[in-house]
Each structure stands twice: as C-alpha cells, then as structure tokens.
Amino acid sequence: MNAVKACALDPMPFVKAFDLAARARGFRAEPLATVAGIPLSAYTHRASGPRPRIYLSSGVHGDEPAAPAALLHLLETGVFDDRAHWFLCPLLNPTGFQLGTRENAAGVDLNRDYREPISDEITAHIRWLDRQPNFDLTFCLHEDWETKGFYLYELNPDARPSLADTMIAAARREGEIETAPLIDGRESTAHGIIRPDIDPLLREQWPEAIYLRQHHCRLGYTLETPSVAPLTQRISIQAAAVRAALAEFLLTRWA
C-alpha cells in the first residue's frame, strides 16, 4: 500500500502505475481521451465462458484520492481475476486529481454531468460506456468530507438480494460506520445505508450512478469513506467493502 500512497495525489504516477498493473494482469487498455496532457483510460478484462460483468470506477472527484488508490490496491492484490468480466475506470477526473479539487480544471462537477454532458471527460466516458454490454453489478468509489464514518448508496430498483449489509460489516472491521439518521441530506434506512427512491427522469442533473442505473445496470453501489480518516484507513475500508461484496455476489449468484 505504500506505493499507492506515494502516487495518490499526482495523476501521472498513478496513471502509469495503474496501467502497468492492469496490463500485467491481462487487462486491455482503452484510451478514452487526453485531458491537459493526461490520458483518460478504461480497462477491460474478459474471462473465458459466461461470467458476470462487473464495473468499478473512481476518481470522478479530484479531492477524493482514496478511491483511485483503493481501486489500484484491489487490482494489484489480484481481486480482479477470472471469476468475472471486469470493466474499470480508475481516474475519471485527472485535472481535478492534479489540483485537489472536486471539479475538473474547467470548474465542472463531473459527477453532475451525466444527463446532458458538457465536459470532455464525461462525454468520452459515456461514449465508452455505450459500447459496453450491460453490467450485472457496479461500484462507484468516493469519499465524503462531511461525515465521520463509512456509508453507501444502494440503487436496486428490482429489489435484488442486497450486498449492503455485507459491505457495512466488512467496513466496520476497518473503521467507523456513519450512524446519523440523515446522511448527505437523505434518510438512512440502516446505519450507513441509503436506499434512495428516485426517478432519474425527475432529476435535472445526473451523477454517474444514476446514469448507470438508467442505462447499464439495475444493481449499483456508491461507496463513501470519511475524508477525516487517515488515507491508509480510507483505502482499507474501500477495499474491504468491495472485496466482501464481490465474494458474496460471485459465490452466491455465480458459483
């Protein structure tokens, strides 16, 4: 994890480290765009035979370094193996990552730009997404500067078996869970779990998770670690939650 920490705030070392680790594990790099001289790429790995299609993204907000670092850590520790077809977008906001800002260098919050995109980053990302098959499960990795504990959003309109409790239990072993009844302006249904009942068409601005729910996947999670925690702990919390969710999903539904 020390190598992850060293490149967590500088986009080029992170991009190079992720690309090297991905190619070493058989992933195919797909360039989406170049933003201020920094490559924006997606990575895919397709196993042989029928497998679930699982998508993970991070780095859409540039002031949330633990999320890309956690995705790199999961990649380097072999989580993305032949149990599934993997689709990874590790750094969606490279200029924000470089500046340490939520928005990109043009001042656009990329996680509100998915309904009628104006940014080069999200326009390129959507073009790539539209070339992919539908996913069986999605994760969007984030941080929250206003909470003290880990929490997650679950988008599950078909009421499929939930992975939320499994992720909360795994995250609790690494750090604090957010227990407030109101989190990010929304009521929690249990400690650290938000299940918003939303009609995407009624929202003027779409985050990535809503775009995915509307067009690509009916089971999706947004994971939020508390930015007040140390970086290494935030990475551990994210990684533990994702590992636990994948283990349950792949064992109980795709064994």
The token pair that represents 172 in the structure block: 């609790």
| Per-residue pLDDT at 4 exceeds 50 | no
86-112: per-residue pLDDT in tens? 999 999 999 999 999 999 999 999 999
User: What average pLDDT does range 56-80 have in this prediction?
Assistant: 97
What pLDDT, on a 0 to 100 scale, did the predictor assign at position 254? 61
Confidence of residue 255 (pLDDT cuts 50, 70, 90): low
| Per-residue pLDDT at 8 exceeds 90 | no
pTM of the model: 0.95
Q: Cα dist. 253→37, 55, 188, 248, 250 in Å?
A: 42, 16, 27, 8, 6
| Alpha-carbon span 32 to 191, nearest angstrom | 38
| Alpha-carbon span 200 to 67, nearest angstrom | 25
Give every CB contact of residue 167 below 8 A, 6+ residues apart in sequence.
152, 221, 223, 241, 242, 244, 245
| Alpha-carbon span 167 to 250, nearest angstrom | 14
Q: Which of 156, 134, 141, 152 is nearest to 220 (CA)?
A: 156
Structural domains in the chain, sorted by start: 2-254 (3.40.630.10)
The token pair that represents 232 in the structure block: 């290494």
219-240: per-residue pLDDT in tens? 999 999 999 999 999 999 999 9
| Per-residue pLDDT at 203 exceeds 70 | yes
Confidence of residue 252 (pLDDT cuts 50, 70, 90): confident
Confidence of residue 47 (pLDDT cuts 50, 70, 90): confident
User: What average pLDDT does range 173-194 have in this prediction?
Assistant: 95
What pLDDT, on a 0 to 100 scale, did the predictor assign at position 2? 39
What pLDDT, on a 0 to 100 scale, did the predictor assign at position 40? 95
What pLDDT, on a 0 to 100 scale, did the predictor assign at position 162? 97
The token pair that represents 127 in the structure block: 């073009």
User: b vs e for 23-51, b when ≥16 Cβ sit within 10 Å of the residue's Cβ?
Assistant: eebebeeeebbebeebbbbbbbbbeeeeb
CA angle 220, 223, 228 (to 5 degrees): 170
